[in-house]
A and B are shown apart, each in its own frame.
Chain A
């Protein structure tokens, strides 16, 4: 069956990626952050222009200059945030921009009748006269899809369609997707949730670092293999890479009398059954003094959400956080900081640096309460701290007065790390501490984290880089779909074991063999 063929080749964001969507198939598009999924989709739907490559729709070469072009041709994206008018009715939203008219006026009756027919045809029980705002998120999403269908969609792109849906609503979405598939619509399905991929998708295309990894039928692909493809590891030859976390350096961290089984000393931090909407569905973990606890999981597994809950940045709805055996349950970052918790966000630009302020101010902002007397900041103590940390972390800048936005990513990250170190925390939560920084700074930060743990700090480290987790962690907790599914002790940690847990949701490591 000859369906729709598209081919792209581009610069760095997407490097000669081939993609074929057949008529009447649901095709999953997966990859970690920065893999190029959204770039591919945007080119497909006319939001971006391709720099090379060719694209066909139903055997005819096509070129979309704008999303409107793509829509006219029948390639339609339904976005994560649904772009609709909340105060207008379902019918108005479906026909927005192409209202049926009679004698120059909107033909309301026809619009309503057509919408009813359309919704019935899709098996949706939605009143076309209801305003969008009254509908549930799922129903709104259905309307957005219905709009796509009414535009004559041959190709429908669903970008994380379930991210804001409850489980019951997901089932309705699946029904709709299957119905569209049987009508011959090709569907591109982007999601991080494996269960969904296996539930509705026929084939999967894996992207990594802007390159095509491969296209496979999901029925023939084990979850473990899919994870390996996404992360770029071969199943057999998983070998540890080289990071600055040399193994011998982590040895002193294993002071606990036993590695697991609760015999260890009282944990520094304990989180019990953290829950928060559909993002966290029960995470339990503890961090001991002097250890680096690695937190692993694929995108959307709840790693960052766990960190934010522990820090009070996005408090959990349910569950408990203990620090030093005392109930903390932080509701605000201030509370957590005062108790001795520090949190380095994964998004340096949006949540880390304060761009217009100097290195000095950025570095000391969290410690200001300890540097002030009668509200006045002690210049001398501030200077002393700034100089000490700039030297110790090797921050390269013309002076402490330079604004932080002028620094390189690695140096910014060091300033942010110093911001937390000068508050003298007991627990350091690092969310992707080495993401997007150069190799040199990366090694320096890894070495520093190691030293800190060795000096008795508890460290919780989130990382998407398996090498970093394997070589840096004393233990690893693996999250999947908002739950902690496995805990690996020092001797059990291996890329295979982590990948296995991420994919299958259990600690029974495939080739390494675990003790339970």
Chain B
């Protein structure tokens, strides 16, 4: 894993200011820089699996990996923004469950009502998180832990005390089971979200505000950055994306399982973000990196499964990868 050394975010100040060609390379670096190491690790993993794991390098397995990763991807994209502000959102799994439960219960009143209801429920929880974090001197981990606990309970209350609410509306089930050609519907949704998020982080004022608020909140405030509004937006976005993931999960299962949907997804999402190169200390983030991070985790899980290695071993390897990633992006003095 010698290549992973390129994870270091340090650009090369010694390089002379070159012509526009150098500049655009530098720009590319700025956008993708921290993910080179993760990208290399992913390439090695895929290559090894293609050689040693039977049936890994098949189209159906490829779609399977993408299908399974899309929930974590949706949540991970939101988490990327949250972590970029020096925060964390533990409540995403519970928010998924709430959105799924709301949609399942509202489905008899129409597809639109169900989808909208589920997403609005998620949005409400996100606004609650964001407002508390922006205005009270309480740490994000505590606020979202509270929402995690309350949300799980709320989801069970919504679904009639934790009953399994089955869904049989075919147009809703498309979300989790439909295909466009060979591409699963949820993969399309995830890709669209990734695209929009990458542009938002790189090219919008909001994206800059997120990085500024995470990089140096005091300086950002004095520079006129609406720090509070940015925080609220970030947590609302994270929750809505979790809501979308919740709807997809419910559609895939064909039921709202308030106790199970989204369980522990926050941990997978945080792992994907960190492995991808977004700094937990805030101020540095990459959406593409999160995609790579999520894929690394999923490829490990899938290949171990195919090789009939016990699940617990894949957990151990994931843990090692997370530790290595965090070690590689430890803060350095300049």
A residues in contact (CB < 8 Å) with B = 311, 313, 333-334, 337-338, 343, 345, 350-358, 361, 365-366, 368-369, 371-372, 375-377, 379, 398-399, 401-403, 405-406, 419, 423
Contact = CB atoms under 8 A, between A and B. Distances in A.
13 contacts: A334-B226, A345-B219, A351-B218, A356-B9, A356-B211, A361-B208, A361-B212, A365-B208, A365-B223, A372-B204, A375-B206, A398-B13, A401-B26
Given A377-B208, A399-B17, A399-B23, A355 B203 contact: no
Interface string B57-94: 00000000000000000000000000000000000000
Contacts of B23: 399, 401
B279 A356 contact: yes
A355 B283 contact: yes
B208 A402 contact: no
A401 B17 CA distance: 11
B13 A313 contact: no
A305 B211 CA distance: 28
Contacts of B29: 401
Contacts of B15: 398
A399 B216 contact: no
Interface residues of B, number: 35
Contacts of B204: 372, 375-377
A357 B211 contact: yes
A399 B219 CA distance: 22
A350 B219 contact: yes
A354 B26 contact: no
A411 to B, nearest CB: 12
The majority secondary structure among interface residues of chain B is helix
Contact of A334 (B9, B224, B283): B224
Contacts of A338: 224
B188 interface: no
A398 B16 contact: yes
Contacts of B203: 376-377, 379
Given A352-B219, A355-B215, A356-B279, 5 more contacts: A333-B221, A334-B224, A351-B216, A377-B205, A402-B11
B225 interface: yes
B316 interface: no
In this complex, the member of A334, A345, A365, A375 whose beta carbon has the largest number of chain B beta carbons within 10 angstroms is A365
Contacts of A361: 208, 211-212
Contacts of B22: 399
Contacts of A377: 203-205, 208
Contacts of A405: 334
Contacts of A313: 221-222
Nearest to A374: B204
Interface string B7-43: 0010101011100001100110110000000000000
B318 interface: no
B7 to A, nearest CB: 15
B147 to A, nearest CB: 27
Contacts of B328: none
Nearest to B23: A399
A246 to B, nearest CB: 31
A357 B215 contact: yes
A378 to B, nearest CB: 9
B284 interface: yes
B220 A354 contact: yes
Interface string B208-245: 11011001101111111110000000000000000000
A376 B206 CA distance: 9
B229 to A, nearest CB: 9
A329 B184 CA distance: 56
Given A372-B204, A398-B17, A401-B23, A365 B218 contact: no
A214 B284 CA distance: 49
A375 B219 contact: no
A216 B191 CA distance: 74
Nearest to A350: B218
B84 to A, nearest CB: 10
Contacts of A366: 223-224
A354 B13 contact: no
Contact of A354 (B9, B205, B212): B212
Given A337-B224, A350-B219, A368-B205, A356 B283 contact: yes
A375 B199 CA distance: 11
A382 to B, nearest CB: 10
Contacts of A337: 224
B215 A365 contact: no
A406 B216 contact: no
Contacts of B222: 311, 313, 333, 343, 345, 351-352
Nearest to B225: A365
A490 B222 CA distance: 31
A365 B212 contact: yes
Contacts of A343: 222
B215 to A, nearest CB: 4
Contacts of A354: 211-212, 215-216, 219-220, 223, 283
Nearest to A368: B205
Contacts of B26: 399, 401
Contacts of A419: 223
Interface string B123-167: 000000000000000000000000000000000000000000000
Nearest to B30: A401
A338 B11 CA distance: 35
Contact of A401 (B27, B221, B223, B334): B27
A370 to B, nearest CB: 10
Given A369-B205, A372-B204, A398-B17, A403 B216 contact: no
B205 A403 contact: no
Contacts of B219: 345, 350-354
B286 to A, nearest CB: 12
Nearest to B221: A333
Smallest CB-CB A-B distances: 4 pairs: A356-B283, A337-B224, A354-B215, A368-B205
Nearest to A403: B11
Given A357-B283, A377-B204, A398-B16, A333 B334 contact: no
B57 to A, nearest CB: 38
Contacts of B220: 354, 365
Contact of A356 (B215, B224, B226): B215
Contacts of A406: 11, 13, 334
Interface in B82-120: none
Contacts of A311: 222
A141 to B, nearest CB: 24
Contacts of A375: 204-206
A351 B223 CA distance: 9
A365 B219 CA distance: 10
B273 to A, nearest CB: 16
B216 A355 contact: yes
A152 to B, nearest CB: 38
Given A313-B222, A365-B225, A405-B334, A353 B216 contact: yes
B158 to A, nearest CB: 34
B151 to A, nearest CB: 30
Contacts of A401: 11, 23, 26-27, 29-30
